[in-house]
Structure 1
Amino acid sequence: MQRTSFAIALAFAAITSLGRTVANDHWQAFRGDGSGISETADLPTEWTPDKNIAWRSDIPGYGQSAPVIWDDAVYVTSSDGPFQEDCEVHSYDLTTGEKRWSQAVNVTSKVENYFRNSRAAPTCVVDESGVYSFFASGDVTAMKHDGSTRWSTALTKRYGEFDNERGVASSLAQDSDHVFVVIDHHGPSYVVAIDKTDGTIGWKTDRGERVPSWSSPIVTEHQGRSLVIVSSSDTVDAYDAKSGERLWQVEGIKGNHIPSATVVGDRVYVGSTTMYGGESDEDMVAASNCCIELTVDDGKPGYTMRWGAERANSCYSSPLVFAGYVYYVNKIGVLYCVSAETGKQLFAKRIGNPCWASAVGVTNSTGEQLIYFVAKNGFTIVLRPGDEYDQVARNQLWDRGQMIDAKEAAAKARKANMVPTDQAKPKTGPEKVFANMPESSLHTMFSYDDPTAYAVAVAGNSLLVRTGQHLYCVRALP
């Protein structure tokens, strides 16, 4: 395919610039607009439990979803009860951390509250009309900004229960008209568009029976057409956002079950990892951490494979594409940096802990570019983007007392939410192996512990960090 020099310059600018940016006072979905990038945010580079922590607020129940932000309101979700029958959306004041309201969702299906399951993991989307939530029960609910319910749609009642022992974690995506949900599981899988005005189904496209996955869709505009990009269950697919028509599919991807795709300009960056019961060949998985270029040929959307990484692995968090680089973090906390243009590895560095929260890239008011990697143990590594590892700071979010309190509170909640033995569904697959092991042993084996930093968001000059039971706001204080 030939290009003019001007087109090449534009393509290169799309890679080396910030890409699609998030409005300074909004963070509307998982990873903002799906890129994890915020323009002109003056976040502190240093903090401790006693410095630059503006507030910490309790979240009832337990949850793993990321915060979303509209103006001065922060929204998160949580669930509680042996079968996650108590699902709620909460609103907090961005400035003070004061909780404004909590609103229950009408739960139509029960899901076992098992600590290795995702719990209130799907992230909401928010717009000028309100906040839209999704829970493992299959319920998608729209609420106004004051917490009143507009509508609720039960996907499991329409299309059947989800067959995924590790729970549902795929977050919502949105355009101006619809919210989009992807369900990839052992049963009939699908992507569905739900009308924002009344909760009716705009379209539903079947995906066949799939390997269970937890990645999230992303919406992007290309050549005047709105696309829903889904990197999940060993393929990457593009759907027409208006009709649900599948426009193309990339096969042969291995291990893209957890990280979501990142779109910058006309490039789609895919994250993949080795998995128990899935692909274990590190070379094949590395090549599946790849770059796909969006194309149009005779008016028909298509794609071109640009590159596959030689050595990269993206486990829990999604790849960040920022300042001309792509960053991945694997399951043991190794950070990989490759060129966004070529996929060439520039460095690999152990940063101490895996990241369950996806990294964010920020440009402050002086033009300085910084990356924030929030590890699951509460430490944040601040880096300058570049060909070499350039660490600015390493900061801890909570102190020992807060850590002990969180451990005790989580243990108490797990005990209260334990499913009676005679009501628990028999475990299958990998979970069958662990079913009779003491929970303490499983916590040690899989490093499932509290507090865990699950997700982040940026709005104004604030960095929001969400743990299972708390919401932190990091902000430069006088």
Structure 2
Amino acid sequence: MKSFVPFLILMFGAIQAFAADSWPGFRGDGSGTAQADLPTDWSAQQGVTWQSSIPEYGQSSPVVWESHVYVTSSEGPFQQDCQVHAFDLQSGKIVWTSRVAATTKVENYFRNSRAAPTCCVDDNGVYSFFASGDVTAMSHDGETRWTTPVIQTYGEVDNERGVASSLAQTDDHVFVLIDHHGPSYLVALDKQDGHVAWKTDRGDRVPSWSSPVVARSGDREVVITSSADTVDAYDAATGQSLWQLDGLQGNHIPSASVVGDLVFVGSTTMYGGATDEDATAGSNCCIQLTSDGGKLGYEVRWGAERANSYYSTPLAFAGYVYYVNKIGILYCIDQETGQQRFAKRIGNPCWASAVGITRSDGTQLVYFVLKNGYTIILRPGDQYDQVARNQLYDAGAMMDARELAEKQRLANVVPADQAAPKSGPEKVFAGMPESQLHQMFSYGDPMVYGVAVADGRLLIRTGQQLFCISQ
């Protein structure tokens, strides 16, 4: 293991201890790592502690605060009924559901984002964000404290796949990123009352769905956005633009991953967007945050040769960086040098981002929860070292989930005379049968969208189910 890795592990001990009983946002604290004694073996018949149905349909990841797990979903032809659900962490029983009336219509089309933004949570409650642009703060009892209609305030979004960017947070603010064919921006909302603390314009951008993440550079908190072919840093307190790395390609879906003063960027080739495989691979890069006399900057440490990160965010853990592409090839990159250690087909792509786990005995493991519900567990190293491969649901449960999801889609179809004309790549697909599109893009339910780790439990979320796995 490289010399700087033990330092990073020690430096992040306090943060990981905090994450042991909470998972406060997308990828926890933004690193995707936690200290937990998770099981390594389970199956559909044995080892699942509980399984609960999630009302309607959603694509967000779970978040956890103390005894509650929070997820979101939406309902209606225009996703007009947005819902936040609280589940009991120990039993899986639903504790409450609170609704948010959408202020902007969003077509409930299966290739659109459907309740995709992940919440964030703190001691005062849970903060949700929906494709309608509504940001809402609720208490841990489900009472609405405030709602701010961001898209209604700043204009409709021209993004053929909807809004999917998750919230990021500091103690004082939650941050919303909107990048689209139009005036794009990053906005900070005050956690106390939802008022706009600051808004920074980003100009016209190409549509992107990645999420902001908070890092510390010097003595300042900064918001890092990896989106729309650039990486940008903003002062978290004021919104001041601090620096921009441009010339990237394909960083429209994976979010940045932050470990200490290192930022790991994920990029992918995509239909109607980035197509240059070499340029895209190099955009899967490592950036080091710098501070010189109080002036914040960055240094590009390396760009990968062949890595490609599709929906899931890269994971930097135990001296390696892991990327999974759209056909399920896992790339393992040396964290210090950027050199590839191995590439291995693992059977399915990941929409959920991988997590790095440090057990109480010091053992380190990486959990890849694949889109089809299998979990691959690896021991970090220069070679592919698989510890286990576990199945979440059997063929019967898969068929039941597929039928339930199809019923939900059919019940929420937008009437033909009310459906908006498709643009961009979606215009090509508009006349194709939905069954063919499902086959082309492997969109068949059940599909794993996100995971969380808290209190020695691995939580796995599909469109309509929440699973808990523990010792």
Q: TM-score, normalised by structure 2?
A: 0.98
Residue 276 (structure 1) aligned with residue 268 (structure 2): no
Work out which of the residue numbers 336, 341, 356 in structure 2 matches 1:346: 341
Structure 2 residue runs of 5 or longer lacking an equivalent are none
- Distance apart, 1:12 and its partner CA: 6.9
Distance in 1, matches of 2:19 and 2:39, equals: 19
Name the counterpart of 2:434.
439
Paired residues of 1:215 and 1:260 also in contact (CA < 8 A): yes
Task: Answer yes or no: is 1:140 the counterpart of 2:132.
Answer: no
Shift of 1:428: 1.1
Paired residue for 1:328? 323
- State the SS of the aligned residue for 1:454: strand
| Higher mean C-alpha displacement, 199-208 vs 18-27 | 18-27
Q: 2:118 — aligned with what?
A: 123
SS in structure 2 opposite 1:168? Answer: coil
In 2 relative to 1, CA 111–172 (structure 1 residues): closer, same or farther, beyond 3 Å? same
**Which digits, 9 at most, give the CA deviation of each residue in 1:200-254, with x for residues without a partner?**
0000000001010000000111211000000000000000000000000000111
2:159 aligned residue: 164
**Does the alignment pair 1:383 with 2:362?**
no
Q: Is the 8 A contact 2:377 2:386 kept in 1?
A: yes
1:91 has 2:86 as partner? yes
Does 2:233 match 1:238?
yes
Q: CA deviation at 1:66?
A: 0.4
Alpha-carbon shift at residue 50 of structure 1 (Å): 1.6
**Which one of 255, 260, 265 corresponds to residue 260 of structure 1?**
255
Superposed, 1:358-437 pairs within 5 Å as 358-437=353-432
Q: Which amino acid aligns with 1:263?
A: V
Question: 2:449 aligned to 450, 454, 474, which one?
Answer: 454
CA distance in 2, matches of 1:306, 1:251: 15
Does the residue aligned with 2:19 lie in a helix, a strand or coil? Answer: coil
Cα offset, 1:11, TM superposition: 7.7
Partner of 2:32: 36
**What letter corresponds to residue 23 of structure 1 in structure 2?**
A
Give the CA deviation at 1:16: 9.1
- Mapped to 2, the partners of 1:211 and 1:52 lie a distance apart of 44
**Structure 1 unmatched ranges of 5 or more:** 1-7
SS in 2 for 1:105: strand
Instruction: Tell me the CA shift for residue 106 of structure 1.
Output: 2.5
Which residue matches 2:283? 288
1:204 aligns with 2:199: yes
Q: Does 1:13 align with 2:17?
A: no
SS at match of 2:342: strand
Structure 1 CA distance for aligned equivalents of residues 339 and 92 of structure 2: 43
Within-5 A mapping of 1:24-63:
24-39=20-35, 41-63=36-58
Correspondence 1:464 to 2:464? no
Question: Cα distance, 1:347 vs. partner?
Answer: 0.2
**Identity across matched positions, percent:** 67
Q: Is the 8 A contact 1:17 1:324 kept in 2?
A: no
Q: Following TM superposition, by how much is the alpha carbon of 1:343 offset from its aligned partner in structure 2, in angstroms? A: 0.2
**Matched pairs, number:** 468
Runs of 4+ in structure 1 deviating by more than 2 angstroms, as ranges, are 8-23
Q: Deviations over 1:286-307 (max 9, x none)?
A: 1100011111122100011110
Task: Give secondary structure in 2 for the equivalent of 1:407.
Answer: helix
When normalised by structure 1's length, the TM-score is: 0.96
Distance 2:464 2:12 in 1: 32
287, 294, 298: which one pairs with 1:299? 294
Q: Please tell me the residue identity of whatever aligns with 1:85.
A: Q
Give the Cα separation in 2 of the matches to 1:272 and 1:77. 26
Deviations 1:109-161 (A, max 9, x none): 11000000110000000000000000000000000000000000001221001
Q: Offset at 1:63?
A: 0.3
Distance 2:267 2:395 in 1: 34
- Alignment match of 2:219 (pick from 224, 227, 238): 224
AA of the residue aligned to 2:196:
I
Q: Provide the rounded CA distance (Å) in 2 between the counterparts of 1:298 and 1:75.
A: 42
One-letter amino acid of the counterpart of residue 160, structure 1: G
Q: Which residue of 2 aligns with 1:176?
A: 171
> Is 2:199 aligned against 1:195?
no
Question: What's the CA shift string for 1:176-221, capped at 9, x where partnerless?
Answer: 0000000001110000000000000000000001010000000111
Aligned partner of residue 230 in structure 1, secondary structure: strand
Whole-angstrom CA distance in 1 between matches of 2:153 and 2:114 = 22
Cα distance, 1:131–1:70 mapped onto 2, change above 3 Å: same
User: Please, which of 288, 291, 305 is the counterpart of residue 310 of structure 1?
Assistant: 305
* Distance across 1 between alignment mates of 2:294 and 2:395: 59
Offset at residue 17 of structure 1 (A): 7.3
- Paired residue secondary structure (2:242): strand
Give the superposition deviation at 1:23. 2.3
1:255-304: CA deviation from partner (whole Å, max 9, x where unpaired): 00000001111111100000111121111111100011111122100011
Asked if 1 retains the 8 angstrom alpha-carbon contact of 2:12 and 2:260, the reply is no
Deviation by residue 1:412-470 (Cα, 9 ceiling, x = unmatched): 11111110000000011111111111111111111111000110000011000000000
Instruction: Quote the Cα distance in structure 2 between the aligned partners of 1:10 and 1:455.
Output: 30
The alignment partner of 1:153 has SS state of strand
Q: Distance in 2 between matches of 1:162 and 1:55?
A: 38
